[in-house]
Structure 1
Amino acid sequence: MCGIAGWADWSKDLTGEKDIIQSMTKAITHRGPDADGFWYSDHAVLGHQRLIVIDPEGGLQPMIYEDTNQKIALVYNGELYNYIELREELENKGHRFKTKSDTEVLIHAYIEWKEDCVQHFNGIFAFGIWDDHLKKLMLARDHLGVKPLYFAERGQSIIFGSELKVLLKHPLVEAEVTAEGLSEVFALGPMRTPGNGIFKDVKEIRAGHYSVFTAYGQKSVRYWNLKSESHRDDETATAEKIKGLLEDTVKHQLIADRPVVSMLSGGLDSSGLTAIAGQEYRSRNKVLHTYSIDFVNNDQDFKEDFLRRDKDEPWVKRVAEHVGTEHHSIVFDAQKLVDNLLVPMRARDLPGVGEIETSLYLLFEEMKKDATVALSGESADEVFSGYPWFHQEEYLNGGQFPWLVNLGYFTDILSDEARLKLQPEAYRQKRFKEAVNEVAFLEGESELEAKQRQMSYLFITRFLPFMLDRKDRASMMTGFEVRVPFCDYRLVEYLWNVPFELKSIDGIEKGILRRAFKDYLPDDVRNRKKSAYPSTKDDAYLKGISSWMTQILEDEDAPILPLINQDRVRAISRGEDQEIQGDKARAILDYLVQINEWLKEYKIKISL
């Protein structure tokens, strides 16, 4: 795992621009604290920050390949889980390797197949390749978009990098946000529109896409998509297929030259992956280390809600003992969460979901002390249709993104002027219709099946990117890599066509996954109802962010003030608003505090 940066320009000589590319690259030292590297040519300069996971000596970047016919330069962030098989295939085609790194496999794959190289990869990746003889730049991103990649076009310049802060270090890219960018922030929240970089004329390479830039223009290609067809396997074959795919995926994702551990919440997803990984470790006479998160006084503060049915820790202990892991429970108090609220915002260069992201960052910070890589159960709910929204008519027929159906109050706090200019409801509808128009419905499926397929598409392409962004930025801020086996594109392709009634067999969400884990988990763990990522219930947290918001409201220079209904937000901060209280108040205040500090710290110019 690493951070990448680059700049190509077909109209000027860049060999003297070392200070700029170095500044861009150093902005993401946290993504790769182990080493850095730079490459300079007349029309392209590249930078790389390295987090060593595979082949410490041989994986240095930028990596250059040169012979009499070509000169190729690569910067790459990610892991190719099938690099050993790919290397063998390429060797059979006559390629010769000097290292044991997946980076070298990637560059040879490009030499062999050019842009079609992405069709051969199974992994998580974002990379930039400069073909010096053809003066051509290729930017590509993995199937599900696990690894980030942003770019900006400025005249004849293409500026790109792993995070937005890379681009903002370039003098041609300003921290400017238009009405569209603010609509993303206020109308959609952290669940951005794919491809939208929030800042003016900044974009991201979409998941499953690559773009090629030359002096004559740009082309963007979607190399992977979800194809709808009838599912023909019965329930037994389906469960076995899922089990086999997950076993193969976990085995490949345990490959590393640095310690690999596992996140464990006691829920179905992380427990199943932990059990598979634990078995693989036992076969190597090793013990898997696992990690969970908890909060001070959670035993007395915990309250059951729509998403959190029970406490994680008893289940964590149950699974750790069953699998035989060495477990570590990381505990935080409310004040530490308040004190670190802005770290995830700085990690993603955008406001996020507050306390939930903060605790995730703090967890990774602790895990980094013992390891470099972790497995995570992220995305199982999206690809297995595990959320309650998949069977609730209110959400299936809601006519908007399901996670926003009950979040209208997020725009209720806008000022009249901001609401008029941003038109948040209309913006939501526009983006929702765009997403629905992309869905490949299956001829002959019922209206309910079509709605469930639509719901699945929305979660995979609109909600999951937020979850992956959150995990990538929170982990990489600490120089820590998180792998997500449920995002293996083979599994996602297969599950896309498994009917919801089969996914939820046995009358429980993700029933087919529970069957797939039958040989790995005890029945009580397999049948535990879904409980979302833990959140502190300590009243001290709400008091802390309420006080912070009150200070912002009293600062006449606070940049958020023209955008919000100050009287309404003040009432929320004081606990006097009749509609927005408790968890709703926490969510809105978390977000508004971040927006204000984002506008201030990044010195953002607003152009409405």
Structure 2
Amino acid sequence: MTALAAFWQFDGNTDGDAALTRMLAAQAIYTPHARPGAGDQMWGDDRITIGLRLNPSLPEDIYDRQPVEGAGGRFVMVADLRLDNREDLAQELGISADRLKTMADSDLAMAAFERWELDCVHHFYGDFAFVVWDTRERRLLMARDHLGAMPLHYHAGTLPGGGRFFAVASMPRGLLALPWLRMAPDMERLNGFLALLPELGTNSFFEGIERLLPGHRAVVTADGGVRAERWWNPAPLPLRLSSRDEYAEALRTELDRAVRCRLRGAGDKVATHLSSGLDSSSVTATAARLIAPGRVTAYTSTVRPGYDDRFVDRDRMADEWPLASATARLYPNVDHVRVINDGTSPMEMLGTGFEFMDRPILNPCNHVWIHQINDMARKAGHRVVLSGQMGNMSLSYDGYTFYPQLFLSGRLLRWFKEARGHVRAGGQWRWRGMLAQSIGPALPAKVWTGLMKLAGRDTDLANISLLHPDKRARAFEAAKKAGFDLSYRPSLDSIELRLRVLRRIDGGNYHKGTLAGWGLDSRDPTSDIRLIEFAMRVPDEIFVENGGGRALARRAMTDRLPREVLAERRRGLQAPDWHEALTAKPELLDSTVEGILRSPAACEMLDTERLKQLRDKMATTDLRKRGAMFAYRLAMLRGTAVGDFIRRASGAN
């Protein structure tokens, strides 16, 4: 992973070198493993200065000499990337195996760009963001990978003395280092964030700083501004195989490739997140098989011994250690580490969003255990940590869109057989829930919301968000404009559902933040595009068997995971003991609330009266109960995360 930047001065490059030096220096935290004395790598002409600070993470990075020139000097590229299809791409380009051995990924990317220009993105698999200056056409070209693992931000502005410029940086702080830009929170983006809307707009969390969206590419010209388009628009054709076992074998093959690609540069040891679920268990097990005789350190976050979990829903589990241990015991080269909250309060997490990620964090509770794992992995000398965050949309997709497809198309006998199997097996829903999920896509949003309230699952924005009442109408309007359903009704179209979830959050800043805070390259094999597109091609009915969801993953992993993990239908509850450290250190919440109340911008965005009421009632409220979970874990903690970010981004102390 690399920090890159470019500064294009339309009327002549008089400030480019100084501007780029500032931009790269501000992003130095994202290059913790930079070679000593390497410094900034820069290139410039009479219009633009372009450059980067390289953070070596791959074996071939010893050959990286960016910026890379191509097509006889016409193109100049800086790239932040890990290409996972090096051999296939080299074969397409006619590059020999011997030549490939001494090529950095940036060299390969330039060779592809020389051949296809911006269409090269259709030939790339992996994580990437790149910027190319076209010296002949005087234009800047940019692109990000399918899901946006590598971030890219930009700003178009005017210099104090006149003259326009266009600047690009990996992270917003690179742009905010320019002396002409004023740091301020983007209130529109924060409004949508508090309303839990998908991150669809180009605005970042800082005013005036835009982002190139995941799966997009853009052309920037001196007279036409930024012309961006989505280049990743999957429309997969159904895959027809002869048996469920053939689908399972194909899934194993895709997972092996996805994990193997992400072990590149890890050496003989890698860290993983290991829970009780299918995704992280499958990633850990596969990594152990592929890296052997190397070692896997699997970290499992769990509650302290003796935690009272009687208020945990029946379809959730508080302690994931027993099932995670069952997976770890199958592999002699897995070192299993238990992670118990060391007393860190969620309030202590809020600043990391601003300090490392240039954004507020969504779930402060989860960041407590994530940061603990990162601390342990760093101390153990790891450079790469694997997770399975996108597995629900790829590896272990549940296939539950199959139920409404059966019911609403009139195939009631098949629906009844699958529903009965689901209920008898102790699945997520009983008969009433199964019926609701099956007719949900056909119900109006208001009817669905009413049903959820009757079932005790109230998703009304007023209950789960601390957004100021006067701002909620704006959030609903933005949701309607984006075509986003705030009622969260079940979906009938499995591909549309998965794309909606995959595009909901831009994870690039989170990945950079992990690199900045802990020097760790966070990689998720379940977000591999080839794996995702394979899963999209599998018919929905293959994911359901005898009423049980995630059937394909369970069948595929029978040779890798213990029976009890494959048979488990409950989901793990992340950070169930979140309330203990929060209530043990009330002074941290008090100081955070006081800071928020001193910020006019934060008070404008948040329902501060409700915030104060929640704080006043916290000592007498059982935070383990469902209503308190909505009010405190979701509304109050997310609200304080946003308020704290606004305060910091506004320059308040």
Please classify the TM superposition score into its range, dividing by the shorter chain length. Answer: 0.7 to 0.9
The question of whether the paired residues in 1 share the 8 Å contact of 2:399 and 2:494 is answered with no
Match in the other structure for 1:204:
211
Q: Does residue 311 of the first structure (1) align with residue 311 of the second (2)?
A: no
Kindly report which structure 2 residues correspond to 1:5-84, keeping only aligned pairs within 5 A, or say none.
5-14=5-14, 16-35=15-34, 36-41=39-44, 42-55=46-59, 58-60=62-64, 62-65=66-69, 69-84=72-87
Q: Does residue 581 of the first structure (1) align with residue 628 of the second (2)?
A: yes
**Any stretches of 5+ residues in structure 1 without a counterpart?**
437-446
**Per-residue Cα deviation, 1:478-522 (whole angstroms, up to 9, x for no partner):** 221122212221221222243433223343331111111122122
Q: Does residue 519 of the first structure (1) align with residue 563 of the second (2)?
A: no
Kindly report which structure 2 residues correspond to 1:182-197, keeping only aligned pairs within 5 A, or say none.
182-188=190-196, 191-193=198-200, 195-197=202-204
**Per-residue Cα deviation, 1:534-585 (whole angstroms, up to 9, x for no partner):** 2141533332675444445556523322333333221111226999524531
Distance, in Å, in 2 between the alignment partners of 1:216 and 1:488 is: 37
Cα 1:433/1:140, change in 2 over 3 Å: same
Q: Which amino acid aligns with 1:151?
A: Y
Q: Given the alignment, which residue of 480, 499, 502 partners 1:429?
A: 480
**Per-residue Cα deviation, 1:80-125 (whole angstroms, up to 9, x for no partner):** 0112332354354899669342222112221232222212111111
Q: Which amino acid aligns with 2:342?
A: D
The question of whether the paired residues in 2 share the 8 Å contact of 1:545 and 1:590 is answered with no
Distance, in Å, in 1 between the alignment partners of 2:467 and 2:283 is: 43
Question: Which has more radius of gyration?
Answer: 2
After TM superposition, give the deviation of residue 177 of structure 1 in Å. 4.6
After TM superposition, give the deviation of residue 141 of structure 1 in Å. 0.8
After TM superposition, give the deviation of residue 66 of structure 1 in Å. 5.6
The question of whether the paired residues in 1 share the 8 Å contact of 2:2 and 2:52 is answered with yes
Match in the other structure for 2:156:
153
Q: Given the alignment, which residue of 371, 384, 387 partners 2:382?
A: 371
After superposition, the CA RMSD in angstroms is: 3.6
Distance, in Å, in 2 between the alignment partners of 1:300 and 1:410 is: 25
Task: Give aligned pairs, total.
Answer: 586
Distance, in Å, in 2 between the alignment partners of 1:390 and 1:584 is: 33
Distance, in Å, in 2 between the alignment partners of 1:308 and 1:388 is: 18
Distance, in Å, in 2 between the alignment partners of 1:461 and 1:89 is: 29
After TM superposition, give the deviation of residue 257 of structure 1 in Å. 5.8
Deviates more, 1:155-164 or 1:272-281: 155-164
Match in the other structure for 1:444:
none
Cα 1:318/1:198, change in 2 over 3 Å: same
Distance, in Å, in 2 between the alignment partners of 1:207 and 1:435 is: 22
**Per-residue Cα deviation, 1:293-319 (whole angstroms, up to 9, x for no partner):** 235457456852377324111122111
Q: Does residue 380 of the first structure (1) align with residue 380 of the second (2)?
A: no
The question of whether the paired residues in 1 share the 8 Å contact of 2:51 and 2:78 is answered with yes
Q: Given the alignment, which residue of 340, 345, 354 partners 1:331?
A: 340
Match in the other structure for 2:427:
none
Cα 1:62/1:100, change in 2 over 3 Å: closer
Deviates more, 1:322-331 or 1:311-320: 322-331
The question of whether the paired residues in 2 share the 8 Å contact of 1:320 and 1:327 is answered with yes
Q: Which amino acid aligns with 2:125?
A: N
Cα 1:433/1:604, change in 2 over 3 Å: farther
Cα 1:183/1:362, change in 2 over 3 Å: same
After TM superposition, give the deviation of residue 280 of structure 1 in Å. 1.6
After TM superposition, give the deviation of residue 165 of structure 1 in Å. 2.0
**Corresponding residue SS for 2:571:** coil
Q: Given the alignment, which residue of 104, 110, 114 partners 1:107?
A: 110
The question of whether the paired residues in 1 share the 8 Å contact of 2:270 and 2:295 is answered with no
Distance, in Å, in 2 between the alignment partners of 1:497 and 1:405 is: 34
Q: Does residue 86 of the first structure (1) align with residue 89 of the second (2)?
A: yes
Distance, in Å, in 1 between the alignment partners of 2:467 and 2:545 is: 43
Q: Given the alignment, which residue of 262, 270, 282 partners 1:260?
A: 270
Distance, in Å, in 1 between the alignment partners of 2:444 and 2:176 is: 38
Distance, in Å, in 1 between the alignment partners of 2:47 and 2:338 is: 50
Distance, in Å, in 2 between the alignment partners of 1:527 and 1:30 is: 44
Kindly report which structure 2 residues correspond to 1:510-549, keeping only aligned pairs within 5 A, or say none.
510-532=550-572, 534-543=574-583, 547-549=587-589
Match in the other structure for 2:599:
558
Distance, in Å, in 1 between the alignment partners of 2:594 and 2:295 is: 54
After TM superposition, give the deviation of residue 183 of structure 1 in Å. 2.3
Match in the other structure for 1:286:
294
The question of whether the paired residues in 1 share the 8 Å contact of 2:145 and 2:216 is answered with yes
The question of whether the paired residues in 2 share the 8 Å contact of 1:51 and 1:479 is answered with no
**Per-residue Cα deviation, 1:409-428 (whole angstroms, up to 9, x for no partner):** 35764445445xx6222222
After TM superposition, give the deviation of residue 372 of structure 1 in Å. 0.7
Distance, in Å, in 1 between the alignment partners of 2:498 and 2:78 is: 33
**Per-residue Cα deviation, 1:161-201 (whole angstroms, up to 9, x for no partner):** 22222222223443345653242233226x42253424344
**Corresponding residue SS for 2:650:** coil
Kindly report which structure 2 residues correspond to 1:434-473, keeping only aligned pairs within 5 A, or say none.
450-462=492-504, 465-466=505-506, 470-473=510-513
Match in the other structure for 2:637:
590
Cα 1:567/1:495, change in 2 over 3 Å: same
Match in the other structure for 2:410:
none
Distance, in Å, in 2 between the alignment partners of 1:435 and 1:145 is: 24
Distance, in Å, in 2 between the alignment partners of 1:77 and 1:319 is: 35
Distance, in Å, in 2 between the alignment partners of 1:138 and 1:601 is: 33
Deviates more, 1:302-311 or 1:22-31: 302-311
Distance, in Å, in 2 between the alignment partners of 1:149 and 1:468 is: 8
Match in the other structure for 1:406:
459
Distance, in Å, in 1 between the alignment partners of 2:112 and 2:98 is: 9
**Corresponding residue SS for 1:335:** coil
Q: Which amino acid aligns with 1:372?
A: R
Deviates more, 1:106-115 or 1:254-263: 254-263
Deviates more, 1:361-370 or 1:138-147: 361-370
Match in the other structure for 1:355:
365
Distance, in Å, in 2 between the alignment partners of 1:172 and 1:9 is: 14
**Per-residue Cα deviation, 1:184-222 (whole angstroms, up to 9, x for no partner):** 233226x42253424344332222221122324343233
